[in-house]
Structure 1
């Protein structure tokens, strides 16, 4: 008798499936493509198919959730497979209207975890409430009456960040001694629980985060000050910028400062970045965003990637990606939906089966050229910032990193771009504008663009696959930009006025269109939000 064969294929199918489940999804697909027996194992295993579906959609599994424990693998697989096609079937005409309280019509407005977050700096008041909540959604609703936000005596709130997933509110407060100059003001970050009574957040290291090394304006000069407060997981970052002028509003430079804390472990931080750059116009020329737990991206005339793994020291520069045009008025837009980060509260609150992979998401940069003749929307795959090939490089030319990892579109500066995971929602004019056209007089359609590789592969007749390179001209130097990141595009059949697309928010299954309560093009007052279910 011939000896019986030994090896992997002699194992029971259940063992083969178990062993294959430890491989990256690309290797699972490779194994099943070269071996008929393993192909049959794959077809019989919902778990292997679920792993490859997660990888193909660039998602991560969220372990130890109630949904995960009570939903079978086959059901999760079907839900995940239905997910890429949801956007291609949405009814843009079916919507509901949510009103905003009158005292917050001109407030700073943001969306987080299905909640509307409002902050009225003039009245020193704030509000948070869920937008058309689902029965299973964790809901937080609270009002902060005027003068009740900051717990620090004689302080004014200048910026507010709310994170319902972590039950967190962070408030940037300033104390100004009227006997001293503006540069002697003291800044603090006050932490609290959204549903609390003003005490210490249960996960926080303390009540107040302390700033250090704030930028100052030289004697005899003046400045316009701007701020940004942002958080992700256990990290909070605060940016302060001073646009310096000589009294005639002829701007020379922007002095900026960014400090990052691990608010769950310390109230102080040595993780500080500061610099200055030329700023000939009013309009912020610097922004930042978190790329997962351990990376921070500073966006200005170029893209500087920093490691913030060690919060006890200054961020470490990993790479500098050069931009193809000189830009100002920068907005850095990351998805507003879930992102993978370690937080027990976040996982309990969101109760999701999967979450976006920060290494495979879409980042949108809205920019204006310095001569103010053009605006662009850069759509960039975040995978480029996790490629170790570029780490340690002081300057990476656009030609090396940009064209195959980005798309660049002409953009109406007053219209926002919505980002969710690998999807981008942008308003484009229904016709080419002429020199006589004012942006407020144009009509627009919404274009949903899905940059997930599986969306491109599996469109099944839904949407238009765009794989060919596209080229736009930069009026600044009459040069051209050619980019080729593949995507699937679906265009709405509904026509929108300019005032209906001034702001666009999008999460995993809804579109939110804030409505202006003024006919003036430059107004930011919002009195209601149109919510479109996907």
Structure 2
């Protein structure tokens, strides 16, 4: 009986039976704990074991709360006779419905709620029904602004400040011969700091390095993992560099590095490659997981930049802050956001779902003929996980991107409409607003480059407000789109709320 009780407690926590490979859903749906049954004691007595049918509904809610939202839905499916009890339990539980709604919309809670869970659920459902862009307010910005930046435990560079870095020569004897060849890149998320740099030696030899540290604890100089570097055309050998990093000869030509999460770093190269690195274990060097190739690798790829606005707030850092007046306390889950590649020129705009970089890549996607076997051709991953547009991107946040919609006979001086595209899978699945599923084909201005067809579905909304002034800057989140316009006399801040209509 001790083993039975121990096994029962494991299942209550929603874990997997390692001996039989039984998962939480398989465990519930197969009939376990559905009907009351008895087990004989060793001394001949019989013991009636509690099941999901005869335990209290509160305990059933507690058990189900350990499961992901999609498994809660599967367990509570009304089509399964054995799950009707759990279907009623979920239907009667506001907490479980709230968890399901959060998961379905790809949101995570970052502010402590000051209203009831029932009210939070109502807000989420109301916002999920339908959306339009509606002009609500026009705010004048004074000539003088007083800005206070609060990042909690975050690094100051996480808010956009720039750091000037200089390489240090690994050998004092070569200090006069080494210099920064290209600009170094720094990116910070939470307590993680990533640094990429390239250095050249006058003899024509260069090297690149990628570092990731916990800046709260300082540089890990005593870890004991060293990388000896030897230079061509030189009889000297660098002493050991006391640091955990990736080091290579030549130039990697990174255009930008960006944290997706503290455990995953993304690099974009001027050759048109997107490279995710595993940086979860800081006692090991960053590990390249794949090399996603873009359909274009032209010489202007170094002009492209990644638009993936960091989430500066977390549940812990927001605990002391007041909840917004509209009670919007959520942000988009990392994997449900979109990443954008764009430049200021006439080149294509790529909108890529971040879920691509968190999935287990099918082995068939990799190009076995590549040098290291990590290259993933565009044809394997691109069309179904991205959208390629013409024109410029003006803002990105969460699962949404904002650009201008062209009017008839459009030119740079004409007024435009604000266009928003939402790639939230929940909104697309619910058929909210105008759903675009048809494939789009981008035709390059360069005749030597191929046309690109993509079909990642999205929701499209176009504002009814015509913009007459040139927008200087955009910012958006799950609730609002703010744009800064420049007129002849004053600067104005146009706030467009993402309104939602009842079903």
TM norm. shorter chain > 0.5: yes
Instruction: Determine the structure 2 residue equivalent to 1:55.
Output: 103
Instruction: Determine the structure 2 residue equivalent to 1:264.
Output: 216
Query: Quick one: structure 1 residues 16 and 229, their matched pair in 2 at CA, closer, same or farther if it must change by over 3 Å?
Result: same
Answer yes or no: is the 8 Å Cα contact 2:440–2:453 preserved in 1. Answer: yes
Query: Quick one: structure 1 residues 419 and 212, their matched pair in 2 at CA, closer, same or farther if it must change by over 3 Å?
Result: farther
Instruction: Determine the structure 2 residue equivalent to 1:199.
Output: none
> Whole-Å Cα distance in 2 between the matches of residues 259 and 533 of structure 1?
40
Higher strand share: 1
SS in structure 1 of the partner of residue 417 of structure 2: strand
Q: Which moved more, 1:344-353 or 1:46-55?
A: 344-353
Instruction: Determine the structure 2 residue equivalent to 1:512.
Output: 482
Instruction: Determine the structure 1 residue equivalent to 2:309.
Output: 335
Q: CA deviation at 1:363?
A: 0.9
Instruction: Determine the structure 2 residue equivalent to 1:417.
Output: 394
Query: Quick one: structure 1 residues 243 and 51, their matched pair in 2 at CA, closer, same or farther if it must change by over 3 Å?
Result: farther
The one of 482, 485, 489 equivalent to 2:453 is 482
> Whole-Å Cα distance in 2 between the matches of residues 278 and 76 of structure 1?
47
Matched, 1:397 2:377: yes
The one of 437, 441, 456 equivalent to 2:428 is 456
> Whole-Å Cα distance in 2 between the matches of residues 527 and 227 of structure 1?
34
Q: 5+ residue gaps in structure 2?
A: 1-33, 37-50, 222-242, 367-372, 499-503
Q: CA deviation at 1:362?
A: 1.0
Answer yes or no: is the 8 Å Cα contact 1:319–1:390 preserved in 2. Answer: no
Answer yes or no: is the 8 Å Cα contact 1:261–1:311 preserved in 2. Answer: yes
Instruction: Determine the structure 2 residue equivalent to 1:30.
Output: 74
> Whole-Å Cα distance in 2 between the matches of residues 19 and 362 of structure 1?
33
Instruction: Determine the structure 2 residue equivalent to 1:169.
Output: 156
- Number of residues paired by the alignment? 401
The one of 442, 452, 455 equivalent to 1:472 is 442
Q: CA deviation at 1:71?
A: 3.1
Query: Quick one: structure 1 residues 375 and 97, their matched pair in 2 at CA, closer, same or farther if it must change by over 3 Å?
Result: farther
> Whole-Å Cα distance in 2 between the matches of residues 472 and 298 of structure 1?
24
Q: 5+ residue gaps in structure 1?
A: 102-126, 130-139, 142-162, 175-184, 188-210, 245-251, 280-284, 520-525
Instruction: Determine the structure 2 residue equivalent to 1:359.
Output: 335
Q: CA deviation at 1:394?
A: 0.6
Query: Quick one: structure 1 residues 410 and 259, their matched pair in 2 at CA, closer, same or farther if it must change by over 3 Å?
Result: same
Q: Bigger relative contact order, structure 1 or 2, given CA contacts below 8 A and separation 6+?
A: 2
TM-score, with structure 2 as normaliser: 0.68
Instruction: Determine the structure 2 residue equivalent to 1:427.
Output: 404
The one of 295, 298, 302 equivalent to 2:273 is 302
Answer yes or no: is the 8 Å Cα contact 2:135–2:495 preserved in 1. Answer: no
Q: CA deviation at 1:224?
A: 8.5
TM-score, with structure 1 as normaliser: 0.64
The one of 260, 264, 287 equivalent to 2:256 is 287
> Whole-Å Cα distance in 1 between the matches of residues 488 and 281 of structure 2?
47
> Whole-Å Cα distance in 2 between the matches of residues 491 and 243 of structure 1?
49
> Whole-Å Cα distance in 2 between the matches of residues 350 and 330 of structure 1?
38
